[in-house]
Amino acid sequence: MNACIRAVVRTANYNGIEVYGAIKGYEGMIDGNITKLENEDVANIIHRGGTILQSARSARFREKEWRSKAYEQIKQKGINGIVAIGGDGTFTGASIFGSEFDIPMVGVPGTIDNDLYGTDKTIGYDSALNTAMEAIDKIRDTANSHQRLFLVEVMGRDAGFLALRSGIAGGAIGVLVPETSGDKEKLFETLRKGWTRTRKSMIAVVAEGEGDGAMALAKDIKVQFPDYDTKVSILGHMQRGGNPTCGDRVLASQMGLAAVEGLMAGKDKVMTGLLGREIEFVPLDQSIKHHKDLSNELVRMVDILAS
């Protein structure tokens, strides 16, 4: 998100437009915690994880009374357009706010889950994916040394994009995600084949939203396969931190620039989306209402390569 903030600030200033940052997002808008940003304020942040503006879930913003308060605060600053970086919740709030107060809103997709419709990639996904892959690589060293079965749980409460790609990249024998059925049975069938001389260890990747997670799956495996030495590694919030990858820095910069230029061109209630190699503008309503599907080809690939 820092790379995107930097791009928004510098693109606005390049075009002679004043730009402000709301600390903690909608909460900052409500409280008037809004600060003017100059180019020097965003120097040396492109390589840093997280966001210098911080973020917060705003329960108050769900109520019109507080949205009205937020509108009063931004009008006092002379703000007449908003770039909102986030996911489904952020975009839902942006769509409602923009409709109620007739202020242009452009969303920029920022979520490690990569589950927003209308964009091939979201900001943070590539960084989280590489963090998960590197962790799986390190876990494999231990798995090989001790001939163990490791269940690696990655983030993805409602979506399996992280699990699917990190599992393929990490050479997993199985990937369990919320979107597909029968994953556990496929994994059990693989385990029934037993250890081989060429396979000293096994790693399966589990999305946190699949069933009751990796811990529950480990208990089931212990019942079905008591001879397996099964361990669980939950990566958790480490996937959300760290320096962003080159891919994320460039994507965030592209989207931040496009968001400002979109507002300048009169765009409203749209999201910047990467479609193929180009940044396009997608209606916010589409992004919120439509579901983004996993690649069936990647799901098929897991079954073939794990055999």
Residues 119 and 10 in one domain: yes
* Across 208-231, average pLDDT: 87
Residues 76 and 175 in one domain: no
- pLDDT tens digit string along 92-112? 999 999 889 989 999 999 999
139 Rama class: left (phi>0) / alpha (psi -120 to 50) / beta: alpha
Q: For residues 11 and 17, give the distance between their C-alpha atoms in angstroms, rounded to a whole number.
A: 8
Residues noted as catalytic:
113
- Domain CATH code at residue 209: 3.40.50.460
Residues 150 and 232 in one domain: yes
Residue 296 placed within a domain: no
Pick from 224, 240, 256: which residue ends a domain? 240
Residues 133 and 216 in one domain: yes
Contacts of 189 (CB under 8 A, 6+ apart): none
pLDDT of 30 reads 95
Give how far Cα 216 sits from Cα of 4, 154, 224, Å: 38, 14, 13
- Domain CATH code at residue 16: 3.40.50.450
Residues 120 and 264 in one domain: yes
pLDDT of 25 reads 92
CB 153 within 8 A of CB 234: yes
Closest CA to 259 of 274, 251, 270: 270
- pLDDT tens digit string along 141-175? 877 766 678 999 999 888 899 999 999 999 898 89
Number of domain units in the chain: 2
Q: For residues 240 and 197, give the distance between their C-alpha atoms in angstroms, rounded to a whole number.
A: 37
Choose between 121 and 229: higher pLDDT: 121
Residues 184 and 257 in one domain: no
- pLDDT tens digit string along 67-86? 999 999 999 999 999 999 99
Q: Which domain holds residue 205?
A: 126-240
Q: For residues 236 and 170, give the distance between their C-alpha atoms in angstroms, rounded to a whole number.
A: 17
Question: In this model, does residue 227 exceed pLDDT 90?
Answer: no
Residues 111 and 254 in one domain: yes
The alpha-carbon radius of gyration of the chain (Å, integer) is 22
Residues 101 and 35 in one domain: yes
Average pLDDT of the chain is 90
Residues 64 and 200 in one domain: no
Its pTM stands at 0.89
